[in-house]
């Protein structure tokens, strides 16, 4: 079956702009999580959505937001971009997000560059 897809794969934006990233989970998966990956900070959890509700949130400013649609597809939005937002943004999907029994499948990521 198809894996997790993320679009676009690459983005270049300038400071102050906003950006929307999309994640389509594996069919049947209802949990989608987002992570930011940078060389300095590593992988950091942004938020998790389950059945259109934000279930968990990491320690990021309010400029980072997300949503999930009824078909489980998820989008994340970053407003007023800063240079430090340049990163690889990864999403992961699972059936219900229970880490102990549910395998999380990651997408290839969206590489965001802020100039």
Partner 1 sequence: GDSVTQMEGPVTLSEEAFLTINCTYTATGYPSLFWYVQYPGEGLQLLLKATKADDKGSNKGFEATYRKETTSFHLEKGSVQVSDSAVYFCALSYTGNQFYFGTGTSLTVIP
For partner 1, the binding residues (CB under 8 A) are 4, 33, 35, 42-45, 48, 55-56, 58, 90, 92, 97-101, 103-109
Report in angstroms how near the CB of residue 68 gets to partner 1 at its nearest.
16
CB 5 within 8 Å of CB 24:
yes
Residue number, 43 or 115, with CB nearest to partner 1? 43
Q: What is the distance between the alpha carbons of residues 109 and 101, in angstroms, rounded to a whole number?
A: 24
Residue number, 4 or 114, with CB nearest to partner 1? 4
Give the DSSP per-residue string, 50-99: ETTEEEEE-S--TTEEEEE-TTS-EEEEE-S--GGG-EEEEEEEESS--T
Q: What is the distance between the alpha carbons of residues 31 and 51, in angstroms, rounded to a whole number?
A: 7
Residue number, 30 or 45, with CB nearest to partner 1? 45
Report in angstroms how near the CB of residue 39 gets to partner 1 at its nearest.
9
Report in angstroms how near the CB of residue 83 gets to partner 1 at its nearest.
21
């Amino acid at each position: 079956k198809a894996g997790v897809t993320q679009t676009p794969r690459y983005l270049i934006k300038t400071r102050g702009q906003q950006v929307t990233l999309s994640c389509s989970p594996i069919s049947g998966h209802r949990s989608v999580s987002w992570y930011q990956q940078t060389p300095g900070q590593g992988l950091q959890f942004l938020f998790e959505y389950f059945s259109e509700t934000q279930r968990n949130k990491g320690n990021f400013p309010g400029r980072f937001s997300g949503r999930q649609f009824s078909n489980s597809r998820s989008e994340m939005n970053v407003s007023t971009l800063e240079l430090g937002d340049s990163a690889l943004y990864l999403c992961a999907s699972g059936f219900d997000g229970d880490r102990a029994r549910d395998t999380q499948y990651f997408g290839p990521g969206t590489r965001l560059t802020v100039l």
